[in-house]
């Protein structure tokens, strides 16, 4: 059987990323041009600036990915690209470039859901991993429990009703003046603190989440007591949100009787969350999580998801448009 070489393109937020992946799981190159230093000046991602930098960088990043993979453009079999969810201007840059490449090379175009890409990052880290499993999806824009029935078949079991968990991390970091990006900074400071502060947790009868209450409680505590121990506040916040995640994933396991849990998304890089989920292994649950480099936005995960869409006949045409609020 002939090897399938997929070129993946990811530009949904502030990373211009291109990757070459063989047969869905073997990464030949994974090039990321990050804009974090630029957006740090503004305390968060500025959409117009992100789009402009994608335009400036995407061609060079693509050529570098081809070079590192030691292939030629003609060796590409499939062009996979994120078409949502994300910032519409940023998405359109990657999508337009992918369409042009697909047309010029006369190779199939495959649109990939960004969330699906995050789930697929685990297939690269664990060559043996196959569906069916439960995915705890945690990112700046999404908090979801997904039942992954097959490589291209998903059922949403629970979602956030307000803030995504990554959004809550960023807002807490901003209020206590840790800077951007907030998630890693909260995680680092929390390692110096103790979970001594009681914070509210929202519970539902189903598998949904809510993080606005706990975020607001942290903000109010800091405003009322500016001298509060920030490390303890971060640790308490981290512990409380993790307890909510664990509680819901345990309920999902009981409902579905699926004993394999996979983490995905940028927040899955959080050291405390990773460690707490690993404790589930003591209860007979198989736990998988992407290697750190594949937790945050990258194009290898898009190429991987694109490959599985392609072999399952899910091919896009050149009318494919960006969908900023795309659902799984």
Helices (H), the chain: 36-40, 47-69, 88-105, 114-125, 165-175, 182-190, 212-224, 230-256, 271-278, 300-311
Residues facing residue 112 across a β-bridge: 82
Neighbours of 158 (CB within 10 A): 22
pLDDT in tens, 249-306: 999 999 999 999 999 999 999 999 999 999 999 999 999 999 999 999 999 999 999 9
> Do residues 104 and 133 lie in contact, with contact meaning Cβ atoms separated by under 8 Å?
no
44: pLDDT strictly greater than 80: no
pLDDT in tens, 221-235: 988 988 899 999 999
For the chain, give the percent of residues with pLDDT over 90. 81
What per-residue confidence (pLDDT) applies to 42?
A: 60
What per-residue confidence (pLDDT) applies to 263?
A: 98
pLDDT in tens, 293-313: 999 999 999 999 999 999 999
The rounded distance, in Å, linking the Cα atoms of 238 and 260 is 24
pLDDT in tens, 70-129: 999 999 999 999 999 999 999 999 999 999 999 999 999 999 999 999 999 999 999 999
> Do residues 262 and 148 lie in contact, with contact meaning Cβ atoms separated by under 8 Å?
yes
For the chain, give the percent of residues with pLDDT over 70. 97
pLDDT in tens, 153-200: 999 999 999 989 999 999 899 888 888 788 899 999 999 999 999 999
Residues facing residue 143 across a β-bridge: 138
């Amino acid at each position: 059987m002939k090897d399938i070489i997929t070129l993946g393109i990811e530009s949904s937020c502030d990373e211009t990323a291109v990757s070459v992946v063989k047969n869905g799981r073997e990464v030949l190159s994974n090039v990321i041009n990050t804009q974090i230093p630029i957006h740090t000046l503004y305390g968060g991602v500025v959409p117009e600036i992100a789009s402009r930098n994608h335009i400036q960088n995407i061609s060079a990043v693509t050529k570098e990915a081809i070079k590192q993979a030691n292939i030629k453009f003609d060796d590409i079999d499939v062009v996979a690209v994120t078409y949502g969810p994300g910032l519409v201007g940023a998405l359109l840059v990657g999508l337009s470039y992918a369409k042009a490449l697909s047309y010029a090379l006369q190779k199939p175009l495959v649109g990939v859901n960004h969330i699906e890409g995050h789930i697929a990052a685990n297939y690269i880290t664990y060559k043996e991993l196959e569906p069916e499993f439960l995915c705890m999806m945690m990112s700046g824009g999404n908090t979801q429990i997904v039942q992954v029935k097959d490589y291209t078949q998903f059922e949403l079991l629970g979602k956030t009703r307000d803030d995504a968990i990554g959004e809550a991390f960023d807002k807490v970091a901003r209020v206590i003046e840790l800077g951007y990006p907030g998630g890693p900074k909260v995680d680092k400071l929390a390692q110096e603190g103790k979970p001594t502060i009681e914070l509210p947790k929202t519970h539902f009868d189903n598998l949904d989440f809510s993080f606005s209450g706990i975020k607001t409680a942290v903000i109010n505590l800091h405003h009322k007591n500016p001298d509060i121990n920030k490390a303890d506040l971060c640790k308490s916040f981290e512990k409380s949100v993790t307890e909510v995640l664990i509680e819901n994933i345990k309920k999902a396991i009981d409902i579905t009787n699926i004993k394999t849990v996979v983490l995905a998304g940028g927040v899955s890089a959080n050291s405390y969350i990773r460690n707490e989920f690993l404790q589930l292994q003591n209860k007979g649950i198989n736990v998988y999580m992407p290697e750190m480099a594949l937790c945050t936005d990258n194009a290898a995960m898009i190429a991987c998801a694109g490959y599985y869409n392609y072999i399952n006949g899910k091919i896009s045409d050149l009318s494919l448009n960006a969908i900023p609020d795309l659902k799984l």
